[in-house]
Each structure stands twice: as structure tokens, then as C-alpha cells.
Amino acid sequence: MKAVTGVFISEADAQRAVKNLRAAGAPEDKVTLLTSNRALKQPEPVAMDTSERPGIGKAMGAVVGAAGGLTGGSLLAAAILPGVGPVTALGLLGSAILGAAGATVGAKVAGSFENFTSEGLPEDEIFVYEDALRRGRSVVIALAADDAGAARFRDVLKAEGAEEIDAARHQWWIGLRSAEREHYEAAGEGSPDDEKFYRMGFEAALHARMRCKEFDQVSAEMANRVEELEREYPDANVEGPFTRGYQRGREYYQRLCDESRAA
């Protein structure tokens, strides 16, 4: 499966894109709409310490249930997402993404996953979705079976005015770049390669499977990644900036969680 994603300023455009994706052949359980929902009631605060995986089942998992209109009777799940706040997600794919991001979606939703496959779930992009949601954007994701389907879905999203995920990821980093440059330059790392490897480490800390874990907890996987990069860039200093970027990414996620809890 291949994930195709679009970020929308207008929720109405995002809703129209979902309908058109379905008309273009996207199965109901392979397309979702994620939206921030400030109207949802915030739960009692719970600890969001990144020394632990944020299951936060005590604070979320409310199922809004089937609704008319866009959902057409499909599941609409709601959760308080760590570092983001209240979010609604359409269908099983949306619930799976909430789960991968650290939310607990509740027994009613979990029971619906019996025949759902998470193949193709874009765990390495979830932090970009979260950034878009924090900025009040809506995110549409569709899983295509092949390259032809992915191209068709991209055309649908483009026609509705979506920003592509690579552009959204670039904007996310631009927003952090100045502050992070000060950090790695203070360690004597100021070359373009230093920034590249630092950013790779930063993003690795935000991966759905890596977040909330100390570097030594994922040392084997991170060591393999560093070795791969060192083979690819034999003359570059990889380990130092990558490791520092990982730690800063972890601190960044903790800060977002703290701010979300205090909001």
C-alpha cells in the first residue's frame, strides 16, 4: 500500500477531497480525514512524560460514532492527541493513525479492527500531520494499492487545492530551523551535512515507533541507521549531529506534550 496525503487550509475542501477519493476508487477503510476539534471537552490532565509511551488511555478514546453526511455511517473517532489536543478521525484508517500517534481509541473502535490491515500506515509522516493539525489544518490520507492508484489519488488531492506532504514537512522544519541551527552550531556543527544529519536524528525521534524513547532504548536500531548513513556518506561526520538531533527531537516532543496538557 502507498500512502497519499494532502494538507488543507479549508475543512470543506478536505471533506470534498474525501468524497472525490472515494469516487476515484479509494475503499472506505483506506481513506481518512483528520481534523483538529477545539470544541471537544478536554479531559482531566494526565502525565505526558516522554520517558514512557503515551498510552493516555485514561484521557481519551471517546467514540463519536456513526454520523450522517460525510461519514455515511462510517466510524468517527475522537481523541486528545499528545502534543496536539482534540482531534477527530474518520474511519478505521483514521483510528489506526490516532493509535500509532499515541492515542487509545477505545474498545468500540478496537473491535472494528479485526479485519483491518495497517499495511502502508505512514508512521514516519505522523508528526507532520500533527504539526498541520496544531496549525488548524485538516489532513486527508488515502492508501493506494499501486503506483497508478497513488497517482490518481494525488491528482484528486491536487485538484482540491491540497498542499503535498513534502511541502508540509519542509514548512515544519523551516519553522524550527533557526533555533535548531543555534543548537548544533554551538556543538561546532555548522555545515550543510551537519544540518542534514541533525534533522534526520530529530525526525527519527518523532517517528511513531521511536517517540518517547531515550536514545539508548533504541540504540540498536539507531546504530544501524547511523551505519547506513556512514556507508552512504563515508566522508561525513554522521553520528554526532544525528545523536544530538535525536535528543533535541525527543525534547521537542516533550515540550509539545507539556504545552498541550497546559492548554
Is this prediction's pTM over 0.85?
Answer: no
| 231, three cell numbers | 556507508
Q: What is the mean pLDDT of residues 147-161?
A: 96
Top pLDDT among 221 and 153 is at 153
Starting at the edge strand found earlier in the chain, the sheet holding 85-90 runs 76-81, 85-90, 31-36, 138-144, 2-8, 163-164
Q: What does the domain layout of the chain look like in residue ranges?
A: 2-164, 169-262
What rounded mean pLDDT belongs to the chain? 80
Residue 240 in this model has a pLDDT that exceeds 60? yes
Which 8-state DSSP code applies to residue 45? -
Q: What is the mean pLDDT of residues 156-171?
A: 95
What pLDDT band is residue 80 in, cutting at 50, 70 and 90?
A: confident
Only one residue has cell 489536543, namely 85
pLDDT (tens digit per residue) in 64-78: 443 334 545 567 888
pLDDT (tens digit per residue) in 142-151: 999 999 999 9
H helices of the chain, in order, are 11-23, 91-100, 106-111, 126-134, 147-159, 165-186, 192-206, 219-232, 239-262
Q: Which of 44-58, 87-101, 224-238 has the lowest mean pLDDT?
A: 44-58
Pairing label, strands 31-36, 138-144:
antiparallel
pLDDT of residue 109: 55
- Please count the residues of the chain: 263
Residue 166 in this model has a pLDDT that exceeds 50? yes
User: φ and ψ at 58, to 5 degrees?
Assistant: -65, -20
d(CA 71, CA 171): 30
d(CA 159, CA 15): 13
Residue 88 in this model has a pLDDT that exceeds 60? yes
| 192, three cell numbers | 550543510
Residue 61 in this model has a pLDDT that exceeds 50? no
pLDDT (tens digit per residue) in 14-39: 999 999 999 999 998 899 999 987 54
